[in-house]
Structure 1
Amino acid sequence: MAQPAPPPKLTPQFCFSTIALRDFLRISRASIDDSITPNLNALLTPADTGFDPSSTSTRSPRTSDSKRIPSSSCRSFKNQVLFPSWQARSDVLNYCASVATSPDPDDPESVLRQVEDARVRERIVDERLDPYSARYFPREARTEKLAALIRQERAVENIIRARTWGLVVERCGDDFNEWEEALNNWRGSREKGQ
């Protein structure tokens, strides 16, 4: 069974290092969600039913039950691998979102942005001569860049989880139609157990 990627140490530096942040998300998604079909296939044990020599004499389409994974294996996979992986990614995205909305006194470009803003305010512009001379595109603060990245990664995460959950429901069957509902139920049962 695949194992979730270990969660990183959460620091503002980790979040502002977009390469490290994206690498964690990429590795975590690749090990569980991108390879969901092989992960689910690994839960099947076809030798349990034994080998029937007559099965090779004719070809017959698979029945939908032949792909069904035992509920105990599915439950174990979801509780020990899938949901912890999703929770780790949620924790990272939530932490980095809080970093993106917090003041950033260590921003190395803040002085440069202030100087540029001051220059723009002092500039005299005659828009009759050059209507485009008044344009000014201020530099984004690194918290703004991080917030945009987090929004993008959350959208990607929603798509990936919906796709993965669709395959899990198809192969395992489940009481929950939506992945959010299943994940929240898992979180609630985990909190009760602690």
Structure 2
Amino acid sequence: MSQPSPAPRLTPQFCFNQTALRDFLRISRGTIDDSITQNLNALLTPSRRGFDPASTSSRQWSAPGRILPPGQCGQFKEKVLYPSWAVRSDVLDYCAGVATSPDPEDPDSVLRQIEDVRARERTVNERLDPYSGRYFPREARTESLAMLMRNERAVEKIIRIRTWNLLGERCGSSHESAEEAFDKWRTSQRQ
């Protein structure tokens, strides 16, 4: 069985290092969610019956041997899937908090202030130069991080829905959504 993703050390530097942040999320998703079919196949017990040649004579649309026992599905969710989702949720929540906090250590803040002052002092004559009125202020790293967090949360939602649908096919459908099941698990872990 796969192991849940280990939690990274959460610091503002980790969040602002977008390469490290994206790599963590990519590796975590690849280990559990992107390879969910392989992870679930690993839970299947090898065939107890021998090979039946008649099984190849016609196409079988349903795969009764591919449905997993509820105990194994539950254990996979409890020990691997939900902890992995929890680590990623914690990282996304922490970095979203960093993105909305003031950033006194922003290395480009002085440069942005200088550019803003220059832009305000600049003489604009659009008759002589139609492009002279253009000014594109530099984006603060917190704004860039906030945009990344919005995108990553959307990706996370899509991946969880896909994973939950595959779990429903292999383990039996659940009446609750992925988020409801995960929230219920999170609540039970806090108690």
Question: TM range, normalised to the smaller chain?
Answer: over 0.9
Deviation sequence 1:113-166 (CA, Å, 0-9, x none): 000000011111112222221110000000011111111111111111111111
Runs of at least 5 residues in structure 2 that lack an aligned partner in the other structure:
none
SS where residue 43 of structure 2 aligns?
coil
How far apart, in 2, do the equivalents of 1:5 and 1:57 lie?
42
Alignment of 1:32-43 (within 5 A): 32-43=32-43
* AA at the equivalent of 2:143: E
Q: Which residue of 2 aligns with 1:153?
A: 152
TM-score between both structures, scaled by the size of structure 1: 0.92
Could you say if the C-alpha distance between residues 58 and 104 of structure 1 is closer, same or farther in structure 2, counting changes exceeding 3 Å? closer
Separation in 1, partners of 2:117, 2:127: 23
Partner of 2:79: 80
Letter in 1 for 2:101: S
- Which amino acid in the other structure matches residue 53 of structure 2? T
Partner in structure 2 of residue 135 of structure 1: 134
Contact 1:100 1:144 (C-alpha < 8 Å) held by counterparts: yes
Aligned length: 189
In the alignment, what sits opposite 1:119? Answer: 118
32-41 or 59-68, larger mean C-alpha shift: 59-68
1:149 partner SS: helix
Which sits farther off after the overlay, 91-100 or 151-160?
Answer: 151-160
Report SS of the residue matched to 1:176: coil
Task: Give percent identity, aligned residues only.
Answer: 62
**1:14, distance to aligned residue in structure 2 (A):** 0.3
Structure 1 gap ranges (5+): none
Counterpart secondary structure, 1:125: coil
Is the CA contact (8 Å cut-off) linking 1:2 and 1:81 kept in structure 2? Answer: yes
Is residue 2–residue 31 contact of structure 1 (8 Å, CA) maintained in 2?
Answer: yes
Q: How do 1:172-183 and structure 2 match up within 5 A?
A: 172-183=171-182
Equivalent residue for 2:104? 105
1:56 is aligned to 2:79: no
- Which secondary structure does the structure 2 equivalent of 1:42 belong to? helix
1:65 correspondence with 2:32 = no
Divergent runs of 4+, >4 A: none
Alignment RMSD: 1.4
Equivalent position of 2:20 in the other structure: 20
Q: Aligned partners of 1:103 and 1:179: how far apart in 2?
A: 33
